[in-house]
A and B are shown apart, each in its own frame.
Chain A
Amino acid sequence: MNISLNLDTKPGHTDHHAVVTGADRGLGLAMTQGLLARGWRVFAGSYLPDWPQLGDLREQYPDLLVILPLDVSSDASVLAAAAAVEERTRSIDLLINNAGVISERSEDSIRISQDYEEMTRLYQVNALGPIRVSEAFLPLLERSELRRLCYVSSEAGSIGKAERTAWFGYCMSKAALNRGVRMLFDRLRPDGYTFRLYHPGWLRTYMSGTRNEEAELEPEESAAPALEYFLGSTLPWDDQPHAVDEDRLVMRDYQGREWPW
């Protein structure tokens, strides 16, 4: 893999700092693991304090992993997390907005009474959460060289390719996220920020509360290309390295395919 920026650091070095939201399990945990293995110092947002895996990881990387209580749907929690990070470092290079939820009632058609409170919850976490976190961490990102903002979105947010007939809350939240990221891109790209928008595939994760065993991929299978895409400046899926066009925001999936809006 050809990554032009030398962002793979040796264990023990803390040249690079990352924040990962939703790091308790699934894709977030896998990406946190990958960053720690690369020698990054990771501030891992934790929403589930009783979930053991992140704690186990801290025992393995006590100097590199900092676990932060973080509820991305809460202004206060996000601001507190940003303040906690700022106490430990003056800059972060990479922000991975990974936290997301889905509803068990997603498949209810319009003929069935909809749960609008649940839709609002999904929107708070999936759409407004990443924007809120990005805004809170901008002062820290601004002091870094990389200034990279990464977002885990979904093909479910692609209006052009949408074939579902329900899933209102989830699809609307992911489409809105894509719009929000685009607005941040328009505003921040002139200041040197770079962006990644990623559809991780259908993962065997706990997004709806229980692990989805029917899904296609283990989180680690998606985390590997995700990190290469997030950290690098070339497209990791190409045989010949092609530079990422940083002036064009696109949503790519775990196989490198570009999804329409």
Chain B
Amino acid sequence: MNRVAWILNLRDPFGAALGRELVSRGWQVIGGDPQAAAGRDAHDGLAASEFTGLEQGREPTSGLPLRQEETVGEGSENASPWKPSAPDAQERSASGGEVHSPKLGENAYIPTGTGSSGFGDFEGSVAYGPESNERRTDGHSGDGRSEEEREHPDAHPGNEDSGAGEDFRIDDPGEQKELGASTAADEMTDAAGDSAAVLAGHGRLRVLPLAAEQPGALEEAARHTAEFAGRIDLLVLNPGESGPAWGEAAGLSAAGADTTEGRLRDYGAYALTPLQAAEQLLPLMEAEGGLKRIGFVSSHEGSVSAGDSSAPIGRAMARTALHMQAKLLFNDLRREGYTFRLYDPGLSPPRPAAPLGGESGSSSSAGEAMVSLPGMAAESARFAAGFFTNPHADEGRLVLTGSRGEEWPF
């Protein structure tokens, strides 16, 4: 069975990396792109820099224009505060850019992790698919491909035979509408259509321009999702940004974050938007045989007992609210067979080392030089893909789990 994941924010570095990781494991992925909804050029940012390796060299199968290679990396400076560093175009071209393997580790341009969680009760990030809520007992580890792919090994992910292509093809790009934003501007509609066409050739990933905070946006996204895929197995709620902006490492909080307006904005983004998404998309998770799994992406910033006090207070409070929300939904929906994950991708920048009788600054710089956000995001997403899709020994317990398998207290 083809599994379908729905990711709230594919523009976020972690969300993008997770989407890529799931696609590589044979999942079909639908996700929201807030920047496309805001009228940004859909060829920028995520479209160009995140999924290039999956789309290059493909011919469109849906009649929608695929983005051209020369757009790769352009404009991505503004696409995200954490701009993924794209490999240079020549190297990318040499790779062919295509990923036929179910494991991302076989693509030299996508950072890989250890693939091991260290959990005693969790299968880690090894691709087990097809996923279910039942633990495998046959000892077969799988190869990350769907049953259909095993039966038709020659089936290209973008081919109609794969099944994915049928589900995810856009028949008329003009039908793609910007969700949650004004449809008045033609160019914005075009941008939305282009964005939605991302990876149409690949056939397993669909990007929806989505301004989730806008009235009606998530309802419309749910309607489009129903049309595209019919159901959702895994709902990934990754609100806001998966970690603080780099500037905060130097003690700088996000502009306006400590105003009432900023605090309310954080609550809307980190707590209310995921709840709205759950409310709207839950009906699509009822399909028979569905995985019925909801994964929350948060941060230990929201841990009352273990979060530090350097984050903006509004964001930390909003993340705690999200943890409560996860627990309430867990209490309610697990009775109907739903399972839950609560994940901290661990993308917070390193805190400046406490100087021992010296001055701070140099240690911070050195720390930042050692860290690559795209690498961290990809590593974390690789773990998360396994964490989100594989069964867990104790589904009756909800805990905030970090990217190294560590548990954070509430």
Contact = CB atoms under 8 A, between A and B. Distances in A.
Given A114-B275, A168-B275, A172-B271, A132 B321 contact: no
B282 A111 contact: yes
Nearest to B322: A172
A123 B311 CA distance: 19
B56 to A, nearest CB: 41
A119 B322 CA distance: 13
A124 interface: yes
B323 A159 contact: yes
Interface stretch (A24-32, A142-150, A176-184): A176-184
Which residue among B260, B302, B333 has the maximum number of chain A CB atoms within 10 Å of its CB? B260
B307 interface: yes
Nearest to B271: A172
A128 B265 CA distance: 12
A232 B304 CA distance: 25
B159 interface: no
Contact of A159 (B264, B268, B327, B332): B327
Contacts of B323: 159, 175
A162 B268 CA distance: 22
B279 A182 contact: no
B410 A165 contact: no
Contacts of B93: none
Contacts of B303: 261
A173 interface: yes
Contact of A116 (B276, B282, B327, B409): B276
A157 interface: yes
Contacts of A6: none
Nearest to A109: B332
B313 interface: yes
Contacts of B263: 128, 131
Contact of B264 (A123, A131, A167, A183): A123
B72 interface: no
A88 interface: no
B410 A261 contact: yes
A162 B302 CA distance: 16
B320 A131 contact: no
A164 to B, nearest CB: 6
A175 B264 contact: no
Interface residues on B, range: 35 or more
B302 to A, nearest CB: 6
A120 B304 contact: no
Interface in A118-152: 119-120, 123-124, 127-128, 131-132
A260 B314 CA distance: 22
A62 interface: no
B332 A165 contact: yes
Nearest to B261: A75
A179 B315 CA distance: 10
B309 A183 contact: yes
Contacts of B331: 162-165
Interface in B224-278: 260, 263-264, 267-268, 271-272, 275-276, 278
A99 to B, nearest CB: 16
B308 interface: yes
Interface residues on A, range: 35 or more
B409 A261 contact: yes
A35 to B, nearest CB: 28
B267 A120 contact: yes
A244 to B, nearest CB: 18
Nearest to A117: B272
A8 B325 CA distance: 42
B325 A172 contact: yes
Interface in B97-143: none
B267 A168 contact: no
B86 interface: no
Which residue among B272, B319, B331 has the maximum number of chain A CB atoms within 10 Å of its CB? B272
Contacts of A109: 332
B90 interface: no
Given A120-B268, A131-B313, A75 B328 contact: no
A119 B272 contact: yes
Contacts of B271: 172, 176
Contacts of A166: 328, 332
Which residue among A127, A179, A187, A261 has the maximum number of chain B CB atoms within 10 Å of its CB? A179
B318 interface: yes
A110 interface: yes
A237 B410 CA distance: 26
A67 interface: no
B324 A171 contact: yes
B334 to A, nearest CB: 10
B317 interface: yes
A184 B258 CA distance: 13
Contacts of A110: 275, 278-279, 282, 329, 332-333
B330 to A, nearest CB: 9
B4 interface: no
B316 interface: yes
A116 B317 contact: no
A143 B395 CA distance: 51
B304 A179 contact: yes
Contact of B309 (A119, A123, A176, A187): A187
A67 to B, nearest CB: 25
Nearest to A181: B304
Given A176-B267, A183-B316, A159 B305 contact: no
Contact of A176 (B260, B305, B318): B318
Contacts of B328: 162, 164-168, 171
A108 B304 CA distance: 26
Contact of A172 (B264, B304, B305, B321): B321
Nearest to A159: B410
8 contacts: A110-B279, A120-B264, A120-B272, A127-B321, A128-B260, A159-B327, A171-B324, A182-B307
Kindly list the 3 A-B residue pairs having the minimum CB-CB distance in the complex, ordered from nearest.
A165-B332, A186-B309, A172-B321
